[in-house]
Amino acid sequence: MDSPADFSPELLNHLNGSCPLPDWGVIQAQGDDAANFLHNQLSNDVLLLPVGRSRLAAFCSAKGRMQASFILVKTAPDTVLLVLSLDLLAQTLKRLSMFVLRAKVKMSDATSQWQLRGFVGDSARALVGSSVPWQTTVQDGAHAVALYPAVLGESQIPRALWIAPAGHALPAGADVSTDVWVWAEVMSGVTLVSQAVFEAFVPQMLNYESVGGVNFKKGCYPGQEVVARSQFRGTLKRRTALVHSPVALAAGQDIFTPTDPEQPCATVVLCAARPDGQGFDALVSGTTESLQTGWRVGSSEGEALALLPLPYPLLADI
């Protein structure tokens, strides 16, 4: 490998198959007011989400900080599934339930009722074809959600989330390890919030406005004013970048820059080892200014992180 941006041909051999997703869970919102209730709580439009379709959304504090994020799947007119990081499920369910009041909706932990599986490569293509991200294919009660692809140089590797009732027969195909799936997630540039970065970011700090996770035309929701102000007053000062690291990184870990050695300038969101053993790749959210001066691990004199091309264009702030 001549540079971190070079990917060995053997990497493509790892990226075909599926695996269970033990770190993700499911909250079910069911009732006549399910879509309207979620519409008033999340960063994206749920009210007009058609049955059988999917969407990315964030759940924020009053200060606009992300407390969770979801892949929403509307499975029936009165039912929406919220796929999220399992380590945030219990507290997110409790907090959402606090806002139900008189709404005709029941929020519940439905993780045991559904199978979650990640597909990558040709296995994902077999499920969702050439669908754009968040389009969903429904077959025999199972939903296959097209996700952002993993981008390796000139190659775009399809990814998909498969969600089906417990006991549903699995699609045929090879298995991949969960580690490979997480690495492909990193290389897609799109990830869900985990406990390690609870309330660390507003949605734009994870590039959510650029990957279909924020609707600026919908009505109010917790933190909406902060999110909108960040976008429309040109105050976006932090973004998520894709980086290569010679050492393993942990979600929530501080990153530094040589020009300001006392203050961390960025936070690790997700990291995974390259399947060929050539170091680690990570998503890191940090100040746009420090991106120009370089990022270091652990201290201003630590290992240097190398920037990789972001897999999608960023929506410019206004």
Q: How high is the pLDDT of residue 22?
A: 97
pLDDT beneath 50, residues of the chain: 1, 318
pLDDT in tens, 209-252: 999 999 988 878 887 888 777 666 556 789 999 999 999 999 99
Domains of the chain: 12-175 (3.30.1360.120)
pLDDT in tens, 99-149: 998 889 999 999 999 999 999 999 999 999 999 999 999 988 999 999 999
For residue 198, the tally of other CB atoms under 10 A from its CB is 19
Q: What does the DSSP 8-state code read for residue 229? A: H
